[in-house]
Amino acid sequence: MSHHPLHDPFIIAGREFRSRLLVGTGKYKNFEETRHAIEASGADVVTVAVRRVNITDKNSENLLDYIDPKKYTILPNTAGCYTVEDAVRYARLARAAGVSDLVKLEVIGDERTLFPDTAGLIEAAKILIAEGFIVLPYTNDDPIVAKKLVDIGCPAVMPLAAPIGSGLGIRNPYNLKIIMETVKVPVIVDAGVGTASDAALAMEYGADAVLMNTAIAGAKDPIMMATAMRYAVDAGRLAFKAGRIPRKLYATASSSIEGML
């Protein structure tokens, strides 16, 4: 029995998702735009940050009134955390504010690049996994670190394509490929995607999913870009599964010469 080619569920820690595009909810003009862009992206998993409630403005709106947690899997992050202690604290607060044990763990090492502090990341992941968290770590494109994260119990790894928000696309495809071949868990390429071809390329390399925020939210038309990213991720995934032809230096005719005059 054959399935529709797009029936290709993406599974993390026993949870099944239809879409292989995960999206962030930051940097949009307003919650209305956020909602439309997320709908257009087709994503099932959306990332959110945990911050102090604005207690002085009682009319301030709540993101979750726009992004229905019954419809989407809310993935809280520890964005903005530069120490193990902060990341662990924010993860615990996220769990207290939400409904699940999922956390996108970020321990940031440097303000200018926002590259992960991978030593801190491993340490924080160990603490949180021991507390029952499902830790999805935002990591560098380092195969050794990815392997260590899996060994301590992360059910997926999320190596960056390029610095967060840079739009530079995949800077180190070979390392990403090595990570995909090294670890037996899903690899989600996270951060650095600039446009649809970057997302398609990540999927063609064999990534299980792509996570992005700025590439969509920062586009001139975020909703149109969300749609483009949805197609790009699907196209890249299909191309990966279909198996591309090898690259050759010279031409190979695709029309037979037999029967020519």
Partner 1 sequence: MKIIVNGEEQEHNIPLTVTSLLQGLDLRTEQVAVEVNLTILNRSDFPTWNLQEGDKVEILNFIGGGSSPPRHNRGGNRYESSSFA
132 binds partner 1 (CB under 8 A): no
Closest contact distance (angstroms) between CB of 150 and partner 1 is 21
Could you tell me if 135 and 153 are in contact, meaning their C-beta atoms sit under 8 angstroms apart? yes
Q: Which stretch binds partner 1 (CB under 8 A): 78-86, 125-133, 172-180, 251-259?
A: 78-86
Whichever of 71 and 241 has its CB closer to partner 1, that residue is: 71
226 binds partner 1 (CB under 8 A): no
Closest contact distance (angstroms) between CB of 18 and partner 1 is 21
| The one among 106, 142, 204, 208 contacting partner 1 by CB under 8 A | 106
| Range 177-211 burial, b when 16+ CB lie within 10 A, else e | bbbbeebebbbbbbbbbbebbbbbbbbbbbbbbbb
Query: Rounded distance, CA 23 to CA 29, Å?
Result: 16
Q: What is the residue whose two structure tokens read 């037999």?
A: 258
Query: Rounded distance, CA 67 to CA 50, Å?
Result: 15
| The one among 108, 180, 196, 226 contacting partner 1 by CB under 8 A | 108
| The one among 1, 6, 96, 257 contacting partner 1 by CB under 8 A | 96
Question: Is 104 tagged catalytic?
Answer: yes
Which residues are registered as beta bridge partners of 218?
Answer: none
Could you tell me if 215 and 195 are in contact, meaning their C-beta atoms sit under 8 angstroms apart? yes
User: Which residue is catalytic, options 104, 148, 241, 248?
Assistant: 104
Which residues are registered as beta bridge partners of 212?
Answer: 23
Closest contact distance (angstroms) between CB of 72 and partner 1 is 12
| The one among 13, 15, 19, 27 contacting partner 1 by CB under 8 A | 27
Q: Which stretch binds partner 1 (CB under 8 A): 43-51, 170-178, 180-188, 240-248?
A: 43-51
CB neighbours of residue 35 within 10 Å: 18
Residues recognised as catalytic: 104
